[in-house]
Amino acid sequence: MSTTHNILFYPVGNGDTSQIILSNGRRILFDYCHRRNGEDKENPMIDLDSRLKNELKNTEQVHFDVVAFTHADVDHISGSTEFFELQHAVKYQGDGRIKISQLWMPAAMLLEEASNNQQSNEFVILRQEGRHRLLEGKDILVFSKPPELVEWLSQKLKDRGEAPNARDHLFVNAGELVPGFSLAKDGVEFFCHSPFIKHCEDGSDVIRNRASLIFNVRFNANGYLYDFLQAGDAEWDVLEEIVKTSCYHNNEGRLSWNLYNIPHHCSYLALSDEKGDKRTEPKPLVKDLLLYGKPDAYLVSSSRPIPESNDSYEQTQPPHIQARKTYERYLHEVSGRKLLVTMEEPNATQPEPLVFEIGSSGISWIRGVVGGAPAIVASKPPRAG
Domain range summary for the chain, segments of one domain joined by +: 5-379
Residue 46, judged by CB atoms within 10 A of its CB (0-12, 13-18, 19+), counts as buried
Phi, psi of 194 (to 5 degrees): -160, 155
CA distances from 31 to 19, 159, 264 (A): 9, 33, 13
Q: Is the pLDDT of residue 375 over 80?
A: no
DSSP calls for 317-338: SSP-HHHHHHHHHHHHHTT--E
Closest listed residue to residue 153, CA positions, set 180, 131, 125: 131
- Across residues 172-192, what is the average pLDDT? 97
**Rg over CA atoms, the chain:** 20
Rounded Cα distance between 210 and 216, Å, is: 17
Residue 101: name the closest of 132, 129, 139 by CA.
Answer: 139
CA-nearest of 38, 35, 40 to 15 is 35
The pLDDT tens digits for 217-235 are: 999 999 999 999 999 899 9
Q: pLDDT value at position 343?
A: 98
Contacts (Cβ under 8 Å, ≥6 apart) of 251: 175, 191, 245
Helices 122-136/147-159 angle, 10° precision: 60
Query: Can you tell me the distance from the alpha carbon of 37 to that of 314, in angstroms, rounded to the nearest whole number?
Result: 26
> Collapsing DSSP states into helix, strand and coil, what is residue 139?
coil
**CATH 3.30.70.20 describes domain 5-379:** no
SS3 1: coil
pLDDT, tens digit (0-9, with 9 covering 90-100), for 65-78 = 999 999 999 999 99
Q: Does the pLDDT at position 130 exceed 80? A: yes
Nearest of 100, 77, 78, 79 to residue 88 by alpha carbon: 100
- Neighbouring residues of 247: CB distance < 8 A, sequence distance ≥ 6: none
Structure confidence at residue 205 (pLDDT)? 42
CA distance 63 to 57: 10
The model carries a pTM of 0.94
Give the pLDDT confidence of 259-283 residue by residue, as tens digits.
Answer: 999 999 999 999 999 999 999 999 9
pLDDT of residue 201: 58
Given this model, what pLDDT does residue 200 score?
59
